[in-house]
Chain A
Amino acid sequence: MYPLLVKFDVFRKQPARKKSASNYIYRNVQNDDIMGNAYARAIKPDVMPGPDCVPTFDPMLGFESRKERVMIATVEEMESAKLPLEDRDYCAHKLLKYRACRADTFPFVYKCHHEKHDYLTCEYEDYVLRMKEFERERRLRERQKQIEKQGA
């Protein structure tokens, strides 16, 4: 998981810099966030989030500003395309485009390669976002614990 994430700024180990509200997230990068999440959960159940965890902290905590995700496909479009409920995510408009392309060009569906990879890339980025949210949750819990320890 780690080599994959190196290219994303959020997980890059930053050189030591001034402590500010926005860089708390770069501290406490330990080995247990690279591999062995099941082991980490077993030894630190209070800090390590479980599978498919729901983020508990304020999403704007530590951010100056943050781009909100926008849903482009409308409910009517998804309903009329009979999109399964699990596909009605933030990539649904690309899936609709891909399916429409397939329906239009059949049997020459190779012409839809762009739509297909556009959709799959969108889903990949969605997954990476979930990994980032998980790691943010874990680090925020770690920080919370340290703050409580210092306060006590």
Chain B
Amino acid sequence: MSAIFNGLKAAQRLQAANPMLFQHVARGMAGWNKDYKPAQIPKNEKECTAAAKKYYLLPEEYRPYADNGLGYGDYPDLGKGLGIESKDPYYPYDFPEHKRNLHETLHADIDLYGEDRYSQAEKPRFTNSQYWLSFVGVMSGCLALYYWLENYRMYRPVAVKQYPGDGRKHYTFESE
């Protein structure tokens, strides 16, 4: 019990010495992970408009994630493949290093779509069948070349090594 009173007295003395201290502590305690947590999925039009305003989106742009229990809540679904890489590099962004403006809504997977990570905004140059055809063509071409040249290998022009007891008599080229 006395420890509690001693603690309170110490806090009072600290407050008297530095009036800003507890304001500072209270401000530091804001911004916990509970403050980053999205709200519940909006049920009606009014809540939708409020959520769109909260995330700096137009009401017709706002579309929450499906309620499948993965915990995105009212966070807007911004679609897929919006890599930062595909953004205009010459636009005067507020934060040019991230190509981002103030109050711009971030994708829920922004850690994936960073400029140094992943982007699938552009279509591949060729179709999948063309990629497969060139792969199979190159591989089977190499294999065909390999099997065709199998009988034309380089080798050293030497006869088999002579071991005593291999069933043959061995001679030098000197005469006795």
Instruction: Report A's interface with B, CB cutoff 8 A.
Output: 1, 8-10, 33, 37-38, 41-42, 49-55, 59-60, 63-69, 71, 88-90, 126-127, 129-135, 137-138
Contact = CB atoms under 8 A, between A and B. Distances in A.
Interface of B: 151-165, 169-176
B155 A50 contact: yes
Contact of A67 (B160, B162, B171): B171
Interface residue SS majority, chain B: loop
Given A59-B171, A69-B170, A51 B176 contact: no
Contacts of B151: 42
A121 to B, nearest CB: 15
Contacts of B170: 59, 68-69, 90
Contacts of A53: 159-160
A55 B162 CA distance: 11
A36 B138 CA distance: 29
A135 B157 contact: yes
Given A130-B159, A132-B173, A71 B154 contact: no
With most chain A CB atoms within 10 A of its CB, the pick from B151, B152, B155, B159 is B159
A134 B175 contact: no
Contact of B162 (A1, A38, A64, A130): A130
Contacts of A66: 171-176
A90 B164 contact: yes
B154 A38 contact: yes
6 contacts: A42-B152, A54-B159, A67-B171, A89-B164, A127-B158, A135-B157
Nearest to B170: A69
Nearest to B174: A67
A37 B155 contact: yes
B11 to A, nearest CB: 78
B176 A129 contact: no
Contacts of B173: 8-10, 66, 129, 132
B157 A131 contact: yes
A54 B175 contact: no
A89 B161 contact: yes
A8 B174 CA distance: 11
A55 B159 contact: yes
A67 B169 contact: no
Given A41-B152, A69-B171, A134 B176 contact: no
A133 B171 CA distance: 10
B171 A134 contact: no
Contact of B164 (A33, A38, A71, A129): A71
A10 B151 CA distance: 30
A120 to B, nearest CB: 16
Contact of B161 (A60, A68, A130, A132): A130
- With most chain A CB atoms within 10 A of its CB, the pick from B154, B172, B175 is B172
Contacts of A59: 169-171
A68 B164 CA distance: 11
A33 to B, nearest CB: 8
A85 to B, nearest CB: 8
